[in-house]
Structure 1
Amino acid sequence: MPGSLKRNLTVGGLLALIVVLADQVTKEWALATLFRDGAVVEVTPFFNLVAVWNRGVSFGLLASDDPMTPFYLSGFAVAVVIGLLVWLARAPSQLLRISLGLIIGGAIGNVIDRLRYNAVVDFIDWHAFGYHWPAFNLADSAISVGVVFLLFDSFLGDSHRSDPQMTGKDGE
Structure 2
Amino acid sequence: MKAAYTKPFLIAAFIILLDQIIKLWVRKHMYLGQEIHFLGSHGMLRYTENNGMAFGMELGGAFGKLALTLFRIAAVCGIGYGLIYLIKHKYHRGLIMMVALIMAGAVGNIIDSTFYGIIYHYAPLFHGRVVDMFYFPLLSGHFPSWIPIWGGEEFIFFRPIFNLADSAISVGVIMILINQKRYFKQEVPEVSNPNSEMLEE
Is 1:60 the counterpart of 2:86? The answer is: no
**Taking structure 1 as reference, are residues 128 and 23 closer, same or farther at Cα in structure 2, changes over 3 Å only?**
same
The equivalent of 2:96 in structure 1 is 97
Greater relative CO, 1 or 2 (CA 8 Å, sep 6+): 1
Displacement after TM superposition at 1:8 (Å): 4.6
Equivalent-residue separation in structure 2 for 1:13 and 1:157 (angstroms): 19
Displacement after TM superposition at 1:110 (Å): 0.2
1:12-23 equivalence runs, <5 A: 12-23=8-19
Is 1:108 the counterpart of 2:118? The answer is: no
**Taking structure 1 as reference, are residues 157 and 64 closer, same or farther at Cα in structure 2, changes over 3 Å only?**
closer
After TM superposition, the runs of 4+ consecutive aligned structure 1 residues lying more than 4 A away are none
Is 1:121 the counterpart of 2:131? The answer is: yes
Amino acid at match of 1:56: G
TM-score (norm: length of structure 1): 0.80
1:44 corresponds to which of 39, 49, 57: 39
Tell me, yes or no, if the aligned pair for 1:34 and 1:51 is still in contact at 8 Å: yes
Is 1:134 the counterpart of 2:160? The answer is: yes
Structure 2 stretches of 5 or more lacking a match? 118-127, 141-155, 190-201
Equivalent-residue separation in structure 1 for 2:164 and 2:47 (angstroms): 14
Equivalent-residue separation in structure 2 for 1:78 and 1:61 (angstroms): 18
Displacement after TM superposition at 1:43 (Å): 1.4
Structure 1 stretches of 5 or more lacking a match? 162-166
* Secondary structure in 2 matching 1:31: helix
Equivalent-residue separation in structure 1 for 2:7 and 2:21 (angstroms): 21
2:5 corresponds to which of 5, 9, 13: 9
Amino acid at match of 1:109: G
- Identity, % of aligned positions: 30
Equivalent-residue separation in structure 1 for 2:162 and 2:56 (angstroms): 10
Displacement after TM superposition at 1:69 (Å): 3.9
Displacement after TM superposition at 1:158 (Å): 4.9
Give 1 or 2 for the bigger CA radius of gyration: 2
Structure holding more helix per residue? 1
1:15-34 equivalence runs, <5 A: 15-34=11-30
Equivalent-residue separation in structure 1 for 2:138 and 2:60 (angstroms): 29
Equivalent-residue separation in structure 1 for 2:18 and 2:109 (angstroms): 12
Equivalent-residue separation in structure 2 for 1:114 and 1:64 (angstroms): 14
Which shows bigger deviation, 114-123 or 70-79?
A: 70-79
Computed over aligned residues only, the root mean square deviation of the Cα atoms, in angstroms, reads: 2.4
Displacement after TM superposition at 1:71 (Å): 2.9
